[in-house]
Structure 1
Amino acid sequence: MAGTSKELPNFTSRIAFILVTAGAAVGLGNVWGFPYVAGKNGGGGFMLIYLLALTFVATPVLMAELLLGRMGRASPPTAMRKLQLEARRPEPWSVIMWAGLVGSILILSFYSVIAGQALFYGFEAMVESFHGWTSEEIIAFDAGYKSDIVLMAFWSAVFVGLTALIVSADVTKGIELAGKWLTPVLFVLLVIIVVYSSIYGDMPAALNFLFGFDHLVLTPGVFLEAVGQAFFTISVGVGGIMMYGAYMGNNVNLPKAVTWIVLMDLGVAILAGLAIFPLVFGEGVDAAAGPGLIFITLPIVFAKITGGGIISVLFFVLLAFAAITSSISLLSPTVARLEEAGWKRAHAAWVMSIIAFFLSFLTVLSFNEWSEFYPLAFLGFDGLTAFSLIREGVSNILLPLVGVACAIIVGWRIKKERIMAALPMQETKLFQVWYFCLRFIVPMAITALFINAVFGG
Structure 2
Amino acid sequence: MAVTPTGTHAHWSSRFAFIMAAVGSAVGLGNLWRFPFMTGQNGGSAFVLIYIGCVILFALPVLMAEIAIGRHAQQSAISSTRKMALEAGKSGNWSIVGWVCTAAGFLILTTYSVIAGQVMAFSVAGFAGGFGTDEGATMFYNGQGIQLFWHVLFMGLTVGIVAQGLKGGIERVATLLMPLFFVVLLGLTIYSLVNGHAAEAVAYLFRPDFSAVSGQTFVQALGQAFFSVSVASAIMITYGSYLSKDANIGSSSLTIASADTLVALVAGLMIFPIVFMVGIDPGEGLGLIFSALPAVFADMPAGNIIGGSFFALALIAAVTSSISLLEGVVAFVDEHANFGRAQTAVLVGFFAFMIGAGAVYSPEFGGNFVDWLSGSLLLPLGGFLVAVFAGWVIPKALLRDELSHTGKGLFEFFHFAVRWIVPPAIFVILALGLDAQFNNGAIGAMLGLS
TM-score, L = length of structure 2: 0.93
Q: In structure 2, how many angstroms separate the alpha carbons of the residues matched to 1:97 and 1:105?
A: 12
The alpha-carbon deviation at position 328 of structure 1 amounts to 0.5
Q: What are the equivalent positions in structure 2 for 1:373-388 lying under 5 Å apart?
A: 385-388=365-368
Corresponding residue of 2:347: 351
Q: In structure 2, how many angstroms separate the alpha carbons of the residues matched to 1:100 and 1:39?
A: 28
Q: Work out whether residues 103 and 398 of structure 1, in 8 Å CA contact, stay in contact via their aligned partners in 2.
A: yes
Q: In structure 2, how many angstroms separate the alpha carbons of the residues matched to 1:427 and 1:322?
A: 31
Alignment-mate amino acid for residue 74 of structure 2? R
2:433 matched to 1:453? Answer: yes
Q: Work out whether residues 44 and 216 of structure 1, in 8 Å CA contact, stay in contact via their aligned partners in 2.
A: no
Corresponding residue of 2:252: 257
Q: Work out whether residues 233 and 325 of structure 2, in 8 Å CA contact, stay in contact via their aligned partners in 1.
A: yes
Moved more, 386-395 or 269-278: 386-395
The alpha-carbon deviation at position 68 of structure 1 amounts to 0.7
2:281 matched to 1:280? Answer: no
Q: Work out whether residues 65 and 241 of structure 1, in 8 Å CA contact, stay in contact via their aligned partners in 2.
A: yes
Label 1:455 to 1:390 Cα distance change in 2 as closer, same or farther (>3 A): closer
Q: In structure 2, how many angstroms separate the alpha carbons of the residues matched to 1:147 and 1:17?
A: 38
Residues 193-232 of structure 1: CA deviation (Å, up to 9, x unaligned) = 1011011111111111111124741100101000000000
2:236 matched to 1:209? Answer: no
Label 1:206 to 1:154 Cα distance change in 2 as closer, same or farther (>3 A): same
Alignment-mate amino acid for residue 271 of structure 2? I
Q: What are the equivalent positions in structure 2 for 1:321-340 lying under 5 Å apart?
A: 321-340=316-335
The alpha-carbon deviation at position 274 of structure 1 amounts to 0.8
Task: Give the secondary structure class of the aligned counterpart of 2:212.
Answer: coil
Corresponding residue of 1:371: none
Q: In structure 2, how many angstroms separate the alpha carbons of the residues matched to 1:427 and 1:33?
A: 34
Q: In structure 1, how many angstroms separate the alpha carbons of the residues matched to 2:319 and 2:405?
A: 33
Q: In structure 2, how many angstroms separate the alpha carbons of the residues matched to 1:206 and 1:114?
A: 26
Q: In structure 2, how many angstroms separate the alpha carbons of the residues matched to 1:434 and 1:185?
A: 33
Runs (4+) of structure 1 moved beyond 4 Å? 144-147
The alpha-carbon deviation at position 106 of structure 1 amounts to 1.3
2:402 matched to 1:422? Answer: yes
> Alignment RMSD, CA only?
1.7
Q: What are the equivalent positions in structure 2 for 1:265-414 lying under 5 Å apart?
A: 265-341=260-336, 342-367=338-363, 385-414=365-394
Task: Give the secondary structure class of the aligned counterpart of 1:130.
Answer: helix
Task: Give the secondary structure class of the aligned counterpart of 1:92.
Answer: helix
TM-score, L = length of structure 1: 0.92
Q: In structure 2, how many angstroms separate the alpha carbons of the residues matched to 1:175 and 1:262?
A: 20
Q: In structure 2, how many angstroms separate the alpha carbons of the residues matched to 1:17 and 1:450?
A: 31
The alpha-carbon deviation at position 429 of structure 1 amounts to 1.7
The alpha-carbon deviation at position 455 of structure 1 amounts to 4.1
Label 1:57 to 1:170 Cα distance change in 2 as closer, same or farther (>3 A): same
Corresponding residue of 1:108: 109
The alpha-carbon deviation at position 338 of structure 1 amounts to 1.6
Q: In structure 1, how many angstroms separate the alpha carbons of the residues matched to 2:160 and 2:149?
A: 16
Task: Give the secondary structure class of the aligned counterpart of 1:320.
Answer: helix
The alpha-carbon deviation at position 432 of structure 1 amounts to 1.2
Q: What are the equivalent positions in structure 2 for 1:60-209 lying under 5 Å apart?
A: 60-90=61-91, 92-131=93-132, 133=133, 137-138=135-136, 142=138, 148-209=143-204
The alpha-carbon deviation at position 4 of structure 1 amounts to 2.0
Corresponding residue of 2:238: 243
Corresponding residue of 2:225: 230
Q: What are the equivalent positions in structure 2 for 1:5-16 lying under 5 Å apart?
A: 6-16=7-17
Q: In structure 1, how many angstroms separate the alpha carbons of the residues matched to 2:328 and 2:339?
A: 13
User: Where in structure 2 are there 5+ consecutive unaligned residues?
Assistant: 440-450
Corresponding residue of 1:382: none
Task: Give the secondary structure class of the aligned counterpart of 1:81.
Answer: helix
